[in-house]
Amino acid sequence: MGYTIGQKLIKSHLLSGDMTVGSEIGLRIDQTLTQDATGTMAYLEFEAMGVERVKTELSVAYIDHNTLQTGFENADDHRFIRSVAKKRGLLFSRPGNGICHQVHLERFGIPGKTLIGSDSHTPTGGGIGMLSFGAGGLDVAVAMGGGAYYITMPKMVRVNLHGALSPWVSAKDIILEVLRIMSVKGGVGKIIEYGGDGVKSLSVPERATITNMGTELGATTSVFPSDDITREFLKAQGRENDWVEVKADEDAVYDEVIDIDLTTLEPLAAMPHMPDNVKKVSEIGEIKVDQCCIGSCTNSSLYDMLKVAAILKGKRVNPNVSLTISPGSMQVLGMLSECGALADILGAGARLLECACGPCIGMGQSPNSAGVSLRTFNPNFEGRSGTADAGVYLVSPEVAAASALTGVLTDPRTLGEAAKITMPEKFVINDNLIDKPASVEEAKDLEVIYGPNIKPVPNGDALPEDIDAPVVLKVGDNITTDHIMPAGAKILPYRSNIPFLSNFCFRQCDEDFAKHCKEAGKGIIIGGSNYGQGSSREHAALVPLYLGIKSVIAKSFARIHQANLINAGIIPFTFTNPDDYDRIEKGDKLAIKNIRQTIENAGEAVLLNETKNESYPLTFSFSDRQKDIILAGGLLNYTRESNK
């Protein structure tokens, strides 16, 4: 029996475990990346481990999220990360150089290698045939120190793409169609692999748009083969030598197969407030639009921007619409300006933003009250834009640009013939915004520079015998990490200050959550299914840890968040009978007795509801390593104990 791409790359990087679906495997990690919003924590954790130099083949620290610098906090974080990078052997991609995933694809990604990043959209690298995962900062810190990265051996899904896209239909529509079919939970525990004759019709940036948003499916990762098109892309980036072929065996066996006929796809949109709430643009109709934002790590390539420029050329943006453009990298912006496309974009009345995440992470450009915003981004969770009652629609660059001209949601096929975009044979290479690390010798004299906003990482205690705590919050299905630990311009500068951040935890669900937790001193959260979907931010575990949360009991969890909870020493349990969820209320006093023994022996965990005098069975399946982490009270304690 042959192997899928995912299985091949796992096999060639397997450090521990066997490749049986559902069991834990440890992988060797070749490359890591961090961004600044999760990076400060990751490097604080890395520093706490006491490793002199990174042990990966390549590690890059990007600054792309917190670029507003409204106070000293962001600037201090940037300086801290830069000082760690210089001393510990990492490349440092300075603010302005671009969004981590876009730059990594252009300059560093290598087919067949493994990559983990402290950002959930790291699977963008799957666009060039890398096996790349989003992870919590602590997992990235461990990998930088040469440790394995652990995942549950996933199932394999094959998405066969047939034919080619019609004019005006975009790679974004392909992934929106996959989201429509599979839902935001559909990818959990799976690698989504793309194949079929349609793959040949897609360029690397288009493939990367698709693998990037595999994150919204909840997938472990997504991957395309590395073929001649990948080789051409790397050649144009001056990196042809990095190319290797990566493909599935003919007789590879998949757990699930999905077929998509590209010829019949139409422009799509994900309606507020979930990426899988997908409808045809033609079906939604001409709703009035207030804002269009083009950019983010999923749609900010030169190819995307050239398509937008061609639509805007010689036209005028509708006066009722604010159109923003964030090119994904300095390379993209430079080339747009060289070929004149930037003038077409600006001439039409678009606002040019920095090459950074910007509005995607709520750093500016919040829409007006009850505004409709069309965004080429990846999540459209409620409130993430910074305006609580805004409606964000996820669309392709073509739909966003067309709608910016008309002022209403517009099917771009109504614009007539689509312009033919020719991509340059060579990209302009300018790595001036990438700083190299110091040599081992020089590094000895360098200091890591902390600022006053950088507070220590909270750390849990070893697991006690019993947990007794009240329910401090009960939430429904699909709770995102944006609910748990919001981002946005006001809060992001405090990503390295957990005590301050804690005041904002779960604000959207319960204004007084932090206050309740502080009063109770400890607590348990009750969640629905897919708890913790969305980003990789470990703050969504570290802040609850700081607030005394001992366990989250939910119907099911999203992958990265579940790992982050375990790393923080918060026990994620699932209800054995999902209906028991309905029996528990906020304020109920809960207890789990003999929990150490239960976890050690993989016994039956029972949740006692002392208020209602009821008990409910709980399910958990932790690997031996995860059990030890939980018993130790988190990965930091566990790592320290293992190094003794």
**Interacting residues toward ligand MIC by CB under 6 A:** 37-38, 65, 119-121, 134, 361, 487, 534-537
Hey, is 624 helix, strand or coil? helix
540 part of the interface to ligand SF4, by CB under 6 A? no
CB of 430 vs ligand MIC, minimal distance in Å: 25
378 part of the interface to ligand SF4, by CB under 6 A? yes
Distance in angstroms (rounded) separating the CA atoms of residues 41 and 218: 23
Interacting residue with ligand SF4 among 105, 357, 514, 631 (CB under 6 A): 357
CB of 491 vs ligand MIC, minimal distance in Å: 11
Distance in angstroms (rounded) separating the CA atoms of residues 422 and 307: 10
Task: Using the minimum distance from each CB to ligand MIC, give the nearer residue, 307 or 537.
Answer: 537
Give the number of other CB atoms < 10 A from CB of residue 642. 12
Q: Which residues contact 253 (CB under 8 A, 6 or more apart)?
A: 1, 2, 4, 156
Q: What is the CA radius of gyration of the chain?
A: 24
Task: Using the minimum distance from each CB to ligand MIC, give the nearer residue, 65 or 180.
Answer: 65
| Alpha carbon 135 to its chain's center | 8
Q: Are the C-beta atoms of 80 and 71 separated by less than 8 Å?
A: no
131 binds, among ligand MIC, ligand SF4, none (CB under 5 to 8 A by kind): none
Q: Which residues contact 526 (CB under 8 A, 6 or more apart)?
A: 471, 473, 474, 475, 552, 553, 554, 581, 584, 586
297 part of the interface to ligand SF4, by CB under 6 A? yes
118 part of the interface to ligand SF4, by CB under 6 A? no
Distance in angstroms (rounded) separating the CA atoms of residues 137 and 86: 19
361 part of the interface to ligand SF4, by CB under 6 A? yes
119 part of the interface to ligand SF4, by CB under 6 A? yes
Task: Using the minimum distance from each CB to ligand MIC, give the nearer residue, 148 or 361.
Answer: 361
CB of 301 vs ligand MIC, minimal distance in Å: 17
121 part of the interface to ligand SF4, by CB under 6 A? yes
Dihedral angle sign, alpha carbons of residues 263, 264, 266, 270: negative
Q: Binding residues for ligand SF4, how many (CB under 6 A)? A: 11
Stretch that binds ligand SF4, among 80-88, 161-169, 354-362, 504-512 (CB under 6 A): 354-362
Distance in angstroms (rounded) separating the CA atoms of residues 137 and 382: 25
306 part of the interface to ligand SF4, by CB under 6 A? no
CB of 37 vs ligand MIC, minimal distance in Å: 3
Placement of tokens 């400890």 in the chain: 522
CB of 68 vs ligand MIC, minimal distance in Å: 14
Task: Using the minimum distance from each CB to ligand SF4, give the nearer residue, 537 or 625.
Answer: 537
- Give Dmax (Cα) for the chain: 72
360 part of the interface to ligand SF4, by CB under 6 A? yes
CB of 541 vs ligand MIC, minimal distance in Å: 12
38 binds, among ligand SF4, ligand MIC, none (CB under 5 to 8 A by kind): ligand MIC
**φ, ψ for residue 323, nearest 5 deg:** -110, 125
296 binds, among ligand SF4, ligand MIC, none (CB under 5 to 8 A by kind): ligand SF4
Task: Using the minimum distance from each CB to ligand MIC, give the nearer residue, 421 or 491.
Answer: 491
141 binds, among ligand SF4, ligand MIC, none (CB under 5 to 8 A by kind): none
469 part of the interface to ligand SF4, by CB under 6 A? no
536 binds, among ligand MIC, ligand SF4, none (CB under 5 to 8 A by kind): ligand MIC
Using CA atoms, how far residue 558 sits from 156, 473, 554, in Å, is: 17, 18, 11
Distance in angstroms (rounded) separating the CA atoms of residues 387 and 382: 9
99 binds, among ligand SF4, ligand MIC, none (CB under 5 to 8 A by kind): ligand SF4
539 part of the interface to ligand SF4, by CB under 6 A? no
Within 302-340, residue ranges assigned H as helices are 302-312, 330-339
Task: Using the minimum distance from each CB to ligand MIC, give the nearer residue, 350 or 356.
Answer: 356
Q: What proportions of the chain, in percent to the nearest 5, are helix, strand and coil? A: 35, 20, 45
496 binds, among ligand SF4, ligand MIC, none (CB under 5 to 8 A by kind): none
Stretch that binds ligand SF4, among 355-363, 411-419, 497-505, 570-578 (CB under 6 A): 355-363
219 part of the interface to ligand SF4, by CB under 6 A? no
Placement of tokens 């009270």 in the chain: 633
Which of 87, 45, 75 lies closest to 456, judged by CA? 45
Q: Which strands make up the sheet holding 58-62, listed edge to edge? A: 131-134, 114-117, 31-34, 58-62, 91-93, 434-435
Interacting residue with ligand SF4 among 97, 296, 556, 639 (CB under 6 A): 296
Q: Which of residues 35-74 bind ligand SF4 (CB under 6 A)?
A: 65
Distance in angstroms (rounded) separating the CA atoms of residues 476 and 299: 31
Task: Using the minimum distance from each CB to ligand SF4, give the nearer residue, 272 or 633.
Answer: 272
Placement of tokens 């990076």 in the chain: 39
Q: How many CA atoms lie within 13 A of 388 on its CB side?
A: 4
Which of 131, 128, 202 lies closest to 161, judged by CA? 202
Q: Which residues bind ligand SF4 (CB under 6 A)?
A: 65, 99, 119, 121, 296-297, 357, 360-361, 377-378
